[in-house]
Structure 1
Amino acid sequence: MGPVAFVKEYWRILMIVGFVGFALIALFIPGGIVADETLVDDGEVEETPTNLEYGIGLDGGTRVSAPPVGMTAENIDIEPGEEHEVQSTLYSYDYENADLEPRDANVRFHEEPPRHTAELFSNDVTQAEFAAALQEAGVDATEDDIENGVTQETRDEIIETIELRINEGGLDGGTAYEEATLGGGYYIVTEVPGMDPDELRELLTARGEVQIVAYHPDDDGQQTNTTVLQGEEIADPGSASYDEQRDRHYVPVSVDNTPREDGTSPAQDYQDSMNELGFTGEGQGQCQIHDRAAGEFHFDHDQPQWCLLTVVDGEVVDAHSMGGNLGQSMASGTWVNDPSFQMIVPTQQDAHELSVNLNSGALTAPLDFSQEQTFSLEPALADQFKLYSLIIGALSVLTVSGMVFLRYRNPKVAAPMILTATAEVVILLGFAALIRMPLDLSHVAGFVAVVGTGVDDLVIIADEVMDDGEVSSQRVFESRFRKAFWVIGAAAATTIIALSPLAVLSLGDLRGFAIITILGVLIGVLVTRPAYGDILQRLLTDK
């Protein structure tokens, strides 16, 4: 038999062997399909028995759910181009109990359907005050037009920023998504394995606003602050780095040099500010700081100070003077041709956090932790659950195997059935490793369900094929197999339809169970059931 004929004859069996081989590579070969870059604290690659990732139920960690803070006015009547003016009025309005910043207001245009919305991100502003601020901006709005909550676009941006922070922080298995409540509200859910509630809450609390603030003498000789660079004006933030020669930690950055309509750019503005404020002249190198090692920044005010402050969420994380080479290039006007510099911070941890904030950006709206829901599991307890899950999986396979052998007492029927069911689980695990799906207790329940339903289908095939005793005719076997396959195909379709809402809707752990069960059913119908029929045909017939 030639290779082509062999493949044509045994293609179903070859397909399941190929899937199992692919799954084993994804499961056990480091970097075999997806490179594993998980690092431990000392910077070395973490060694694990498999490439599987685990959720908080099997690895420990925290899940925090909290709604975004905000109110929304839908379908406000303004002309295109007036967004900035209305937004400026909203955050500068004289509220009774709130002093807002520019980031606390947002006015945006939505293309589908075409409309404008205004959002205010503060718990200290009432709906009546929000409506009054809109009226002052020339918008015909009343308190009835204001709704609690933020737009879908804002929620999407919050989720994207949280996921970026998780990824930049090297937190494997972390995820963020939204869940709808019965009252029509939404919660932002963040799950991160291996992190305690306080750490995760800190990650979510920081809105990630980074600024470069110039601390310099004003015209009267008094020290003052001037913001000279915003985080969003940094075009290409790098990763945390260390300069061994100078013994300092830093993040390399490039400032956006894209021309605006007036011909200026953020890089040009930054260079002009440094020259105008004296940082490239008399202020070069003039920044004396006390208590830097203690994490505090006290300036020597016996003489004028020219310090560049790195500020994250309103907190100064470092201060330094203008370097000689950087100052000379700005003074000559050549720096703007290659607008890059280093943001220096005291420690590697500070550099890492700064890099995360620069790469992920600021949360569009804060989260309301007064309404938070928290679930946390200690790693030691999660390890027990992992062991118990392995034991339960092994017991389910052994129990099903024993019942199958008692039912048929024929190794030709039972052995391929158990091997096929096991192959189905291996393929599912390989798929989970391939897509980096964090496995949780709900997924374990799905795997147990897949073993049970899979063997049920194989029993249907075996019973139908052997309905009238031993079968030796290939034609009779194929006729009976097709009849059985229609039955299990209809059952599979029913299962998929029934579980699809659970897989699509944000229903917590039920979603993981539904996804694994549906995937198992699809793999069974498309791969393992046909292969089992092929194996059974060759064992029970003359062919």
Structure 2
Amino acid sequence: MSVAGIYTTARENWRVTFLVFVLILSSVALFAPTGGGTGADAAPNSTVTNGTTPAPTVNDTGDSGMTNLQYGIQLSGGTRIRAPLQGYVANDVDIGGRDSTAVEQAVAAELPNTDAGDVTVRGPSSEFNRNTPAIELTSNATQSEFTAALDAAGVEYGAVSSGVTGETREETVRVLRSKINQAGLSGGSVTTITDESGQRFVVVTVPNENPESVVDLVQSRGEVEVLAYYPTEENNETVYRNRTVLTQDDFANIGVAEQQQSGGGAFVPVQVREEAAPRFQADMVETGIARPGGSGCGWPSESGTCLLVTVDDRVVASYGMRASLAESMVDGSWVQDSGFQLLAANISEAQSVAISLRAGALPAALSVAEGDVLYVAPSLGAEFRTNSLITALIAVFAVSGVVFVRYGEAKVAAPMVVTALSEVLILLGFAAAIGYPLDLSVIAGFIAVIGTGVDDLIIIADEVMSEGEVNSRRVFQSRFRKAFWVIGAAAATTIVAMSPLAVLSLGDLQGFAIFTILGVLVGVLLTRPAYGDILRALLTER
């Protein structure tokens, strides 16, 4: 065939050419080496610098190995936690023109185990469909205690509902993602969903991790404080007091947790922000923790002066101050560098401190007891992968057998099966390209795509061949267009039916709907027209 003939054939069958091109792109996305990894923690000997210590990065899901596909926990194993956020919201609030901070402090003062940071006055927000102010509580107080505190503080309010505001939910998702990232849990993801009753949940998914470690990580609010523990004279008696000298917002840079060379402890190198350093230095000198020769710590017994490091009000380390650091604070030179080491009892506690400092504190805690925890063992995930592959192969062979029995002609049936499988390859390539996690619902979507795809191809073949032999391309095109209107209408119906599931946060149903819709679109826009060109070339001569 001449060059002109090849060009003419390619132009007439451009849909087939485009399908082949897309299949090549999909194969590259599916099998080509990516040349990248999942990221790694900073080197163990990293120290505080003028920039933030690089955080480890993660992929969205577990790696499949032979391909670039990513697997969710159902096919790779791991833990998924679905839980609501702890809190209450009083809507339609009227604070009577008072300052918001004063109202927050007044309400918090009436509640047990609650400080002003747990009470927030929220203004109207069009983004979250809130037209009036609201007061939000994120401590573990009960609803009756919250309403009693609002009454005692003189706040007028409407309905009180459980849960948190949209702003808090978004911030919680951001912090949880950062905590998972900082902990180096490869494949971790955090999303929100809404169940059929309208209750909102945060969903944390971490492949290849046991539930205990994931629950410990996400359930901790991660509020880190450094306290000065020191003696003071009151009524001619020595009394020991605690004073908060540093909070999370006071740290500029956080290094990597390291094991101490001796003593069995660990530490996190940190640097205090320039604006907070003079205050911290003055507090250390005033409390006597920083004094010539250094200081010793006898905590929890009442002796000495100490720095206490707490995470969620739990003391994870207590220590004095070495002579060199103390003397630099006494002479005022420490603020020029403003770096020191936060000690911890062991490397695990030090890592917890570092993660919490980098990620920030959760604005609201996850109420895991009111949610559910799903754990899939890696061996069970591998079994699910094998069974999914076997199911897909059975579906392919079953469809192929039915098609060959129906038509008895390889030139009609073979392109039909190949075209249907090409849709699956395109969807797999798309999933690999964007890193979408494959789970059982997505596999079900693939099988649904095979079934609906072959249905459409059978409609095309039956319509084209129903009135006898196709004796011209004009007749073929007329019959093909008639069939295409039918499958186009069916595709539109499927897309409309699946769209709510695709856009609503309904968990596993979302993945099924997304890939079913994608499969329908690929079929109508790409594979069905290409199959028509193939069938025309095989059945007509002019």
| Shorter-normalised TM range | 0.7 to 0.9
Note the C-alpha offset of 1:10. Answer: 5.2
Partner of 2:430: 431
Unaligned 5+ runs, structure 2: 45-55, 57-61
Alpha-carbon separation, structure 1, partners of 2:307 and 2:285: 13
Are positions 1:188 and 2:202 aligned together?
yes
Match of 1:295 in 2: none
Residue 74 (structure 2) aligned to one of 57, 63, 81? 57
Maintained 8 Å contact 1:176/1:190: yes
Q: 1:206: how far off?
A: 0.8
3-state secondary structure, aligned to 1:115: coil
CA offsets per residue over residues 372-398 of structure 1, 9 Å max, x none? 333333332232222111100111111
**2:156 aligned with 1:140, yes or no?**
yes
Cα contact 1:223–1:304 (8 A) shared by 2: no
Question: What is the distance in 2 between the residues matched to 1:433 and 1:38?
Answer: 22
Query: Aligned equivalents of 1:526 and 1:334: distance in 2?
Result: 70
Q: Which residue of 2 aligns with 1:527?
A: 526
Secondary structure class of the residue paired with 1:88: helix
What aligned pairs does 1:5-20 form with structure 2 within 5 A after superposition? Answer: 11-20=14-23
**Residue in structure 1 matching 2:147, options 111, 124, 131:** 131
User: 2:119 and 2:203 mapped to 1: Cα distance?
Assistant: 23
Assess if the C-alpha contact under 8 Å between 1:288 and 1:300 holds in 2: no
Q: Is the 8 A contact 2:195 2:506 kept in 1?
A: no
Give the secondary-structure state (helix, strand or coil) at the position aligned to 2:229. strand
Counterpart residue type for residue 52 of structure 1: L
Match runs of 1:445-460 below 5 Å? 445-460=444-459
Cα distance in 2, alignment partners of residues 171 and 25 from structure 1: 28
Distance in structure 2 (CA, Å) of the matches to 1:453 and 1:505: 23
Whether the 8 Å contact between 2:293 and 2:326 is mirrored in structure 1 is: no
Identity of aligned residues (%): 44
Alignment of 1:405-424 (within 5 A): 405-424=404-423
Summarize deviations over 1:210-243 as a string: whole Å, max 9, x none.
1122233445765443221111333444554578
Q: 1:192·1:200 contact (CA, 8 Å) conserved in 2?
A: yes
Helix, strand or coil at the partner of 2:123: strand
Matches for 1:99-138 after TM superposition, within 5 Å:
99-112=113-126, 113=130, 115-127=132-144, 129-138=145-154
Q: Quick one: structure 1 residues 277 and 12, their matched pair in 2 at CA, closer, same or farther if it must change by over 3 Å?
A: farther
Q: Counterparts of 1:457-472 in structure 2 under 5 Å?
A: 457-471=456-470
1:498 matched residue in structure 2: 497
Q: Give the match for residue 510 of structure 2.
A: 511
Task: Between 435-444 and 212-221, report the one with greater CA deviation.
Answer: 212-221
- Equivalent position to 1:234, from 251, 263, 275: 251
CA–CA distance in structure 1, aligned partners of residues 22 and 296 of structure 2: 64
Alignment counterpart, residue 26 of structure 1, candidates 26, 29, 32: 29
**CA offset at residue 317 of structure 1?**
2.6
Separation in 2, partners of 1:447, 1:51: 17
Q: Helix, strand or coil: the match of 1:215? A: strand
In the TM superposition, residue 85 of structure 1 has moved relative to its aligned partner by 1.1
Structure 1 partner of 2:284: 274
Aligned residues: 515
CA–CA distance in structure 2, aligned partners of residues 392 and 152 of structure 1: 41
Question: 2: CA distance between counterparts of 1:52 and 1:447?
Answer: 14
Write the distance in 2 (CA, Å) between the matches of 1:186 and 1:282.
55
- RMSD across aligned positions (CA): 3.6
Assess, with a 3 A threshold, how the Cα gap between structure 1 residues 484 and 348 changes in structure 2: closer, same or farther: farther
1:16 counterpart letter in structure 2: L
What is the distance in 1 between the residues matched to 2:63 and 2:392?
26
1:211 alignment counterpart: 225
Which one of 152, 175, 197 corresponds to residue 189 of structure 2?
175
Q: How does 1:312-391 map to 2 (within 5 A)?
A: 312-322=311-321, 327=326, 330-331=329-330, 333=332, 335-336=334-335, 339-345=338-344, 347-391=346-390
Could you tell me whether the CA contact under 8 Å between 1:237 and 1:251 is conserved in 2?
Answer: yes
> Is the 8 Å Cα contact of residues 88 and 143 (structure 2) preserved in structure 1?
no
Do the aligned partners of 2:81 and 2:368 also contact (CA within 8 Å) in 1? no
SS at match of 1:153: helix
Structure 2 distance, partners of 1:352, 1:486, is 61
1:199 CA drift (Å): 3.0
Deviation by residue 1:32-68 (Cα, 9 ceiling, x = unmatched):
5x754489xx99x988222322223222333333332
Distance (whole Å) between structure 1 residues aligned to residue 335 and residue 376 of structure 2: 51
TM-score by length of 2: 0.82
| Alpha-carbon distance in structure 2 between the residues aligned to 1:214 and 1:123 | 26
Report matched runs for 1:244-263 at 5 Å. Answer: 250-257=267-274
CA distance in 2, matches of 1:329, 1:489: 78
Alignment partner of 1:161 is 2:175: yes
Q: Can you list the C-alpha shifts for 1:59-104, whole angstroms capped at 9, x where unaligned?
A: 23333333322221112123788221111111111x4xx3323343
1:86–1:137 Cα contact (<8 Å) kept: yes
Aligned equivalents of 2:487 and 2:336: distance in 1? 68
Deviations 1:100-152 (CA, angstroms, capped at 9, x unpaired): 2334322222342553211223454343x4334334434234xx643333223
User: Relative to 1, partners in 2 of residues 1:253 and 1:110: Cα closer, same or farther, differing over 3 Å?
Assistant: farther
Partner of 1:260: none
Q: Structure 1 pair 99/345, CA: closer, same or farther in 2 (3 Å)?
A: closer
Q: Which runs of 5+ in 1 are unaligned?
A: 258-264, 290-297
Asked whether the 8 Å contact 1:237–1:358 carries over to 2, the reply is yes
Match of 2:441? Answer: 442
CA distance in 2, matches of 1:38, 1:462: 54
Instruction: Supply the distance in 1 between the matched residues of 2:155 and 2:462 (Cα, whole angstroms).
Output: 73
